[in-house]
Amino acid sequence: MSALRQIHKVLRCSSNVAAGLSRNIVPIFNAARCSSNVSSDHPSMFPGAKAPFVSEPNFTLPSDYSPIPIYRVMDAEGVVNPSQDPNLDRDFVTKMFRDMVLLNTMDKILYESQRQGRISFYMTNFGEEASHIGSAAALENRDWIYGQYREAGVLVWRGFTIEQFIDQCYGNVADIGRGKQMPVHYGSKDLNFVTISSPLSTQMPQAVGAAYAMKRKPNNDSIVVCYFGEGAASEGDAHAAFNFAATLSCPVILFCRNNGFAISTPSHEQYCGDGIAGRGPAYGIATIRVDGTDVFAVYNAMKKAREYVLRENKPIVFEAMAYRVGHHSTSDDSTAYRSAEEIEIWNTTEHPISKLKNYMKKKGWFNEDEENAFVKDVRKQVLKQISVSEKKLKPNWREMFQDVYHEMPEHLKEQMGELEKHVEAHPDFYPLKNFKA
Amino acid sequence: MNKYSKNLLTFFKNIKNLPLTRSHFTYFPDRNVKKVASHGVQKMNMFQAINSAMDHALEEDGSALLFGEDVGFGGVFRCSINLRDKYGKDRVFNTPLCEQGIAGFAIGVANTGATAIAEIQFADYIFPAFDQIVNEAAKYRYRSGGIFDCGSLTFRVPCGAVGHGALYHSQSPEAYFAHTPCLKVVVPRGPIKAKGLLLACIKDKNPCIVFEPKTLYRAAVEQVPVGSYVSEIGQADILRKGSDIILIGWGTQVHVLLEVADLAKKELNVDCEVIDLVTILPWDRETIANSVKKTGRVVVSHEAPLTQGFGSEIAAYIQDKCFLHLEAPVKRVTGWDTPFPHVFEPFYLPNKLRCLSAIKELMNY
């Protein structure tokens, strides 16, 4: 048995022990080991690793590790494993379902409105609704969120309004971000959702730093959750975040949305290891992989993860498996690199919303007419908001110079003055009527 | 041959009589130390002054954290010595060896409102953090409409020539950052300034970078105020008044220029005004323009390469705002457009003779 195989075996054993100790605690973290089964007469003194010597030059192969299993609570028919049922009440589950439907409905309309040229850009969340809602529902609103860009469901759960979403996409005078960023780059101080930025993975070491600072606050009861895609996990910043989170003991959940694609790049061209979860133990981080189309699996695992992170002041790697049903963005046609048949499977039987719908039907909590009325109402709200948001003026163009620094330096005041004079001289050249005076 | 050329020729002929020094500059300590209430002054070199600044910062602000590679045991330049013992290892600590991680981590700390003092071991190694600094730290406030920021973040970054640092222990990357709106970038010329600027940056509500010329850590010694004080960011210092030409520099180069001013007076009878720009971004255009209008001649000098060095920005601004006052073109005396070399360092640096030649050229123009 190779050393790594041995360690692997111990790893599995420790999981089983954990399972035995906490039978009613649902998901099991594959607790990463900082020390292994080194015998007491072990002569190795290397500071860099605690490991036994072996007398054969055996390579540790990727196949020596079995893949980290996918935690699942509910099947495609909505049948729940009774021992794993979180037993959420009807109102709670209805909010989960409706928030997923709201997100899905808003996505469809905003996607179309981009196709019609009404907004400049959009990214849908199709197929990943359960990982947003399931995770958000297991957190406290005081927990800080750092996202990538495909986590709008977390905002929906926390109460970001249709008006706020659409105002941001239009960059109008009501946009919290003052019209400075592209659509879907949401942020909310009130909801502890840190403003999204386009550069991938940059938020990851930031989330770790924020978690470190939170840990130091007296009686801290908040954690940080950082969402990122499996493509983003290839960036150097992801490595930095994993390693800093582990060595500096930060209460952060590193939540990977593994949806199989980074634009056109399939995950098998992204990495050769056991996904993103497979990396967690290598960094010394407790890790779990869940079915991201199963809202209860995500919920249960996140609930446990939050408790662990807060109690231990240590990070967790959380990988939610899903499938990106929609195109990458409005600038992408995904049928150029995958089949319509493949997409269809994930858009029907394996879709997170249909699974939860099946569950609710079994519970007798689903009323077709009520749900149709809900969808109709959301459609109406979204369409109405689009017409309202597109009529709202853009912010005063002088805001372009604001918030560069905390205070406006002299040279920016001068540049603003220069533009003022120029615009005054050529008012017809600029779309002034669309901007607040 | 006019008087300037003649004087300079005599000077060059006598060059063999100049003493050989270990470094390319002679340190000119600050003399006009402003009194800091209730505290005296103490002899400190630059690393001690920086240590003193961080000591104040950690003491005054319980949220302040100090971290980076090898910061825990005191830092490879001894700047953080004893601070871990005094403030605990949860406040003064080593990070893994990863600059993008240090920068990203620092931004996150600052997002929560806590104070982050992050060290990048050498300016040459700041480039892995370039994305975090330029795309993230700098743009945080702007892109969020002001709801999130990382203003309580300061990077400390040893920079500049050191005699034998070659390509990756000598760089002066200030111009890369000067092209990034939303950052503040300062370069101290000695211990007093280093302490005041560092404390100002730590308190400033914007992400700041302090480039510390590492050759000064031990070489520069001054009577530094013991108490806490700040030096204004964005304010240039006129270190020597003169009527014929102004010499603009920052960091170690200020000391080269002060010596050049002495030489120019002695050898050429030229009165040089010497200005320490102090802040690269946002820089003190008013002080520079006023001086240029008085003298009509300018030399800008920095260790970094010529093309797109910060001297270009100063020169362009001067020709725009002082065109009718100029008696000669703005002259830039800088490092060459090559990587920073090892054995050729004496030929690379914009040393006092090259600066003096530039003065001669401009006076003859």
For B94, name the nearest residue in chain A, comparing CA atoms only. A248
| CA dist., res. B206 & res. B282, Å (int) | 12
Contact B101 A205 (CB under 8 A): yes
Closest by Cα among B241, B247, B181, B252 to B28: B252
Identify whether the C-beta of residue B117 lies closer than 8 Å to the C-beta of residue B202. yes
Identify whether the C-beta of residue A153 lies closer than 8 Å to the C-beta of residue A344. no
* Residues B318-332, mean pLDDT to the nearest whole number: 98
| CA dist., res. A323 & res. A249, Å (int) | 32
B202 and B239, same domain (yes or no): no
Q: Specify the pLDDT at position B31.
A: 81
Contact A210 B108 (CB under 8 A): yes
B196 and B248, same domain (yes or no): no
ipTM score assigned to the predicted complex: 0.93
Q: Write down how long chain B is.
A: 365
Active-site annotation of B, residues: 99, 169
Provide Rg for chain A, Cα atoms.
Answer: 24
The H-assigned helical ranges of A201-279 are 203-215, 236-247
What are the chain A neighbours of B101 within 8 Å (beta carbons)?
205, 237, 239-241, 243-244
What are the chain A neighbours of B95 within 8 Å (beta carbons)?
244, 247-248
Report the range of poorest mean pLDDT among B35-44, B64-73, B173-182, B245-254.
B35-44
Tokens (6 digits) for B273: 């005004």
Domain termination site, one of B202, B225, B248? B225
Question: Which residue among B98, B100, B147 sits closest to A187, beta carbon to beta carbon?
Answer: B147
CATH number at residue B155: 3.40.50.970
Per-residue pLDDT tens for B242-252?
999 999 999 99
Q: Which of A22, A42, A77, A112 is catalytic?
A: A112
| CA dist., res. B41 & res. B43, Å (int) | 7
Count of CA atoms in the C-beta half-sphere (13 A) of A307: 11
Q: Is residue B23 part of a domain?
A: no
Q: Is residue B91 part of a domain?
A: yes
Q: Specify the pLDDT at position A146.
A: 98
Instruction: Using alpha carbons only, give the angle A202, B63, A194 rounded to the nearest 5 degrees.
Output: 30
B239 and B220, same domain (yes or no): no
Contact A243 B101 (CB under 8 A): yes
Identify whether the C-beta of residue B97 lies closer than 8 Å to the C-beta of residue B128. no
* Residues B311-330, mean pLDDT to the nearest whole number: 98
Spacing of C-alpha B364 from chain mean position? 30
- All CATH 3.40.50.970 domain ranges of chain A, comma separated, are 90-390
Cβ-Cβ contacts under 8 Å between A and B: the total is: 155
B240 and B218, same domain (yes or no): no
* Counted domains in chain B: 2
| CA dist., res. A217 & res. A113, Å (int) | 45
Q: Compute the nearest-CA separation of A142 from chain B (Å).
A: 12
pLDDT by residue, tens only, chain A of 437 residues: 344 444 444 444 344 434 333 444 445 555 444 444 545 566 788 999 989 999 999 999 999 999 999 999 999 999 999 999 999 999 999 999 999 999 999 999 999 999 999 999 999 999 999 999 999 999 999 999 999 999 999 999 999 999 999 999 999 999 999 999 999 999 999 999 999 999 999 999 999 999 999 999 999 999 999 999 999 999 999 999 999 999 999 999 999 999 999 999 999 999 999 999 999 999 999 999 999 999 999 999 999 999 999 999 999 999 999 999 999 998 889 989 999 999 999 999 999 999 999 999 999 999 999 999 999 999 999 999 999 999 999 999 999 999 999 999 999 999 999 999 999 999 999 999 999 99
Contact B111 A204 (CB under 8 A): no
Identify how many contiguous H helices and E strands chain A contains and give both numbers: 12, 9
For B317, name the nearest residue in chain A, comparing CA atoms only. A411
- Domain of B92 in residue numbering reads as 41-225
Using DSSP bridges, classify how beta strands B184-186 and B279-281 pair: parallel, antiparallel or unpaired: antiparallel
B243 and B358, same domain (yes or no): yes
Contact B65 A210 (CB under 8 A): no
* Residues B255-268, mean pLDDT to the nearest whole number: 98
Q: Is residue B36 part of a domain?
A: no
Q: Specify the pLDDT at position A10.
A: 40
A349: helix, strand or coil: coil
Contacts of A209 (CB under 8 A, 6+ apart): A244, B104, B105, B106, B107, B108, B109, B110, B111, B116
Closest by Cα among B199, B258, B257 to B233: B199
Per-residue pLDDT tens for B57-112?
999 999 999 999 999 999 999 999 999 999 999 999 999 999 999 999 999 999 99
Q: Is the pLDDT of residue B4 over 80?
A: no
B200 and B274, same domain (yes or no): no
Q: Is residue B28 part of a domain?
A: no
Identify whether the C-beta of residue B225 lies closer than 8 Å to the C-beta of residue B192. yes
pLDDT band at B13 (very low <50, low <70, confident <90, very high): low
B137 and B255, same domain (yes or no): no
Name the β-bridge partners of B68.
B94, B119
Tell me if residue A328 is catalytic: yes
Q: Which of A404, A408, A416 to mutate to test the interface with B (most CBs of B within 10 A)?
A: A404
| CA dist., res. B232 & res. B226, Å (int) | 18
pLDDT band at B10 (very low <50, low <70, confident <90, very high): low
| CA dist., res. B49 & res. B190, Å (int) | 9
Q: Is residue B143 part of a domain?
A: yes
What are the chain A neighbours of B93 within 8 Å (beta carbons)?
248
What are the chain B neighbours of A224 within 8 Å (beta carbons)?
108
What are the chain B neighbours of A204 within 8 Å (beta carbons)?
104
Q: Using omega within 30 degrees of 0 as the cis cutoff, is the peptide bond preceding B282 cis?
A: yes
Domain termination site, one of B225, B254, B276? B225
What are the chain A neighbours of B104 within 8 Å (beta carbons)?
202, 204-206, 208-209, 237, 240-241
Domain termination site, one of B225, B248, B281? B225
Contact A208 B104 (CB under 8 A): yes
The highest-level CATH class for domain A90-390 is: alpha beta
CATH number at residue B292: 3.40.50.920
For A243, name the nearest residue in chain B, comparing CA atoms only. B96
Sheet with B272-276, edge to edge strand ranges: B237-240, B272-276, B245-249, B298-305, B331-335
Q: Is residue B8 part of a domain?
A: no
Closest by Cα among B334, B144, B151, B161 to B233: B151
Q: Compute the nearest-CA separation of A340 from chain B (Å).
A: 37
Q: Specify the pLDDT at position A23.
A: 40
Closest by Cα among A290, A289, A294, A136 to A223: A136
Q: Which of A22, A44, A198, A331 is catalytic?
A: A198
Q: Is the pLDDT of residue B38 over 70?
A: no
The pTM of the whole model exceeds 0.90? yes
Tokens (6 digits) for B218: 């031990």
Sheet with A224-229, edge to edge strand ranges: A70-71, A286-291, A316-321, A252-258, A224-229, A144-146, A193-194
B57 and B162, same domain (yes or no): yes
B183 and B296, same domain (yes or no): no
B265 and B329, same domain (yes or no): yes
Residue B300's Cβ-count burial label (10 Å; 0-12, 13-18, 19+) is: buried
Report the range of poorest mean pLDDT among A280-294, A401-415, B22-36, B269-283.
B22-36
Using DSSP bridges, classify how beta strands A286-291 and A70-71 pair: parallel, antiparallel or unpaired: parallel
Count of CA atoms in the C-beta half-sphere (13 A) of A237: 31
Rounded to the nearest integer, the mean pLDDT of chain B is 94
B219 and B352, same domain (yes or no): no
What are the chain A neighbours of B105 within 8 Å (beta carbons)?
205-206, 208-209, 212, 240, 244, 248
Q: Compute the nearest-CA separation of B262 from chain A (Å).
A: 34
Residue with tokens 């003065």: B359
Going A406 to A409 to A415 to A417, the CA torsion angle's sign is: positive
Using DSSP bridges, classify how beta strands B184-186 and B153-159 pair: parallel, antiparallel or unpaired: unpaired
Q: Is residue B89 part of a domain?
A: yes
B100 and B194, same domain (yes or no): yes
| CA dist., res. B70 & res. B84, Å (int) | 11
Q: Specify the pLDDT at position B164.
A: 94
Classify the phi-psi angles of B30: left when phi > 0, otherwise alpha if psi is within -120 to 50, otherwise beta: beta
Q: Is residue B21 part of a domain?
A: no
What is the H or E stretch that residue B335 is in? strand B331-335
